[in-house]
Amino acid sequence: MVKFRQLFITISIAATLVAFCAFAQTNLTQILDTITNPDGSPFNGTVVITWNGYSGSGSGTVSRLSTSARVYNGALSVLLVPTTTASPGTYYQVVYSSSNGTAQWTETWQVPPSTTALNIAAVRQTTTQGSGSGSGSGGGTTGSGGSQYATLPIAISSVTNLAGSLSSINSTLTTVQSTATALGTTVSGLRTTVSGLNSTVTTQGSTLGALNTTVTGLSNTVSGLNSTLTTQASTLGALGTTVTGQGTTLTNLSNTVSGLNSTVTNQAASISSLNTTVSGLTSTVNTQGSSLTTLSNSVGTLNTTVSGQAASITSLNSSLSSLTATVATDTSSITSVNSTVGGLATNVTNLTNLVNGLNTTVSSLSNVSSNAVFVDSEVPAGAINGSNLIFSLANPPAPAASLSLFRNGLAMTPGVDYTISGSAVSFVSASMPQAGDTLLAYYRTAGTGSATNFADGETPGGTINGTNVTFTLASAPNPAASLRLFRNGLLVAPGVEYTLTGSSITFTTARTPQSGDSLAAYYRH
């Protein structure tokens, strides 16, 4: 009984192979596509493809032959016998099962003869949603190229060595097709042999066993080829990931270059602002020089006038002495002298008034450079939060162009980074202060200040070598807040990056000036 059961199973397998050989005599059509999940990620799982149709024309029997393919990263490639040229009513039933068990669905395919690979949309007839929560490629109907299926995930031009890889794959496919054709021829011959063996099956059991072993080996060979194609698809997917990563790297480099361009532009604006400030200081110094020249001329004239008046007074004293000597004998002369003296007194009073006026002029001219009040290191009022654009100063700058506004040590350009109206500073959106930024303002305002001296562009004394932290100014800044210290063109934050004691500057260890750095100080004293 056991031998009979084994014999029956062997005969069934042989009959199935005979039927499959009939299908294999036709050229195979390749189905090549990429399957994606509803969320756009690659599908991973198993696809079982079952032949539903008659085993031969007019045989009247339905044959159900199956093949399965493992799908990695969405890559599917199978070779199928055309159904459109087979017996009427023949079709493929295709069942998808995801490897994580979240989706399963069924499709009906009609495969036409084709010498080129077809995608799933070209053969799909119907789709039926199965179990699981999948949608899109797990139960949708749009087909390849829509929301369920995508063509190759990367552009051909973006894949390195794609031509060589495709050539290798095409060569492998050609070998598979040749092997399948040869297999079809071999199986066709086997069908004739098996027909003869049916009459003598009891004595040919061993021969059928050997045939079964041969067919099993051929099946394993085809499975190995499928595995090779799957590996090639995985390699293409990895290449796509590499190209995408290179695109991200190029984008980051582009952003870095854009940031450097912006920084250079801001530095150019700062240098332009400094040039404007220097030009203004030059004009002011020239004006003060002219005023001092005028003052010197006025004082010289005053000295000449006073000297002349002194000679006149000496002459008057002599005249008075002479008049005194003769007053006793010449009453009328005394009366005349008294009138003359009264006139001289009036002249002396006028002279005194003139001298007082000149003194007032001299005092006014000597205070030309002290008619302004300086505001140093003021933090404008306003929330620094990445959304606020408007900040307020304690006083309106006079003139408005005297305002020097720094953000994180970088000079802001008026009319480009901000505008000022009265004491209100309004930033443009592109220069909006962000959370963690620092703002410092230096400007002049209306009023009368004390006489002062200026130090501009002074290089503090000290060795710039990466270890020395102490530097010395020629004079002690007065007030201390008037010191604006620049390192490589950027304003250094007082109290954070350095401290000032008298004329001595001490940097924090973390901000020690390095070899090649430049320092420049601007202050009043």
Answer yes or no: do 331 and 407 share one domain: no
In this structure, the answer to whether residues 38 and 13 fall within a common structural domain is yes
255 belongs to a structural domain:
no
The structural domain count of the chain equals: 4
User: Is residue 256 in a domain?
Assistant: no
The answer to whether residues 200 and 75 belong to one domain is yes
The span from the CA of 145 to the CA of 350, in Å, is 107
Same domain, 363 and 373: no
Render 305-334 in DSSP notation, one character per residue: HHHHHHHHHHHHHHHHHHHHHHTTT-HHHH
pLDDT of residue 226: 77
The DSSP code sequence of 41-95 is PBP-EEEEEEEEEESSTT---EEEEEEEEEEBTTEEEEEE--STTSSTT-EEEEE
Do 54 and 171 share a domain, yes or no? yes
Going by C-beta distance under 8 Å and a sequence separation of 6 or more, which residues neighbour residue 254?
A: none
Query: Is residue 421 assigned to a domain?
Result: yes
Separation of alpha carbons 408 and 438, rounded Å: 5
- Together in a domain, 469 and 442: no
CA 221/CA 176 separation, integer angstroms: 10
Query: Which of these three, 329, 348, 368, is where a domain ends?
Result: 368
Backbone phi, then psi, for 407, in 5-degree steps? -120, 115
Closest CA to 406 of 418, 388, 398, 392: 418
What pLDDT score was predicted for residue 286?
63
The answer to the question of residue 239 being in a domain is: yes
In angstroms, rounded to a whole number, what is the distance separating the alpha carbons of residues 303 and 306? 5
Residues 171 and 241 occupy one common structural domain: yes
Task: Return the pLDDT at 222.
Answer: 73
Output the pTM of the full model: 0.31
pLDDT of residue 159: 55
Is 263 within a domain?
A: no
474 and 364 in a single domain? The answer is no
Co-location of 294 and 236 in the same domain: no
Q: What pLDDT is stored for residue 134 in this prediction?
A: 34
Q: What is the mean pLDDT of each run of 10 residues along the chain (525 residues)?
A: 44 44 65 85 92 62 76 93 90 92 89 95 84 37 33 49 78 85 86 74 66 79 76 72 68 66 63 60 58 59 63 68 64 61 66 61 44 87 96 94 94 95 96 96 86 89 96 95 95 94 96 96 94
User: Is the preceding omega at residue 479 within 30 degrees of 0, hence cis?
Assistant: yes
Task: Please say which residue of 395, 430, 446 terminates a domain.
Answer: 446
Is residue 203 domain-resident? yes
The residue range of the domain holding 520 is 452-525
Q: How far apart are CA 339 and CA 348, in angstroms?
A: 14
The pLDDT of residue 76: 94
Q: Nearest 10 degrees: CA dihedral of 408, 409, 412, 418? A: 30
Strand partners, 104: 97
Q: Look at residues 198, 226, 248 and tell me which one is the last residue of a structural domain.
A: 248
Total H helices, total E strands in the chain? 4, 22
| Statement to judge: residues 98 and 233 lie in one domain | yes
Which of 196, 205, 269 has the alpha carbon at shortest distance from 11?
205
Is the same domain home to 373 and 485?
A: no
Residues 300, 428: one domain?
A: no
For residue 522, the domain's CATH number is: 2.60.40
Give the whole-angstrom CA distance, residue 525 versus residue 482: 9
Q: Is residue 261 part of a domain?
A: no
Nearest 5°: phi and psi at 176?
-60, -45
**Mode of pairing for the β-strands spanning 45-54 and 91-98:** antiparallel
Contact criterion met (CB below 8 Å) for 369 and 288: yes
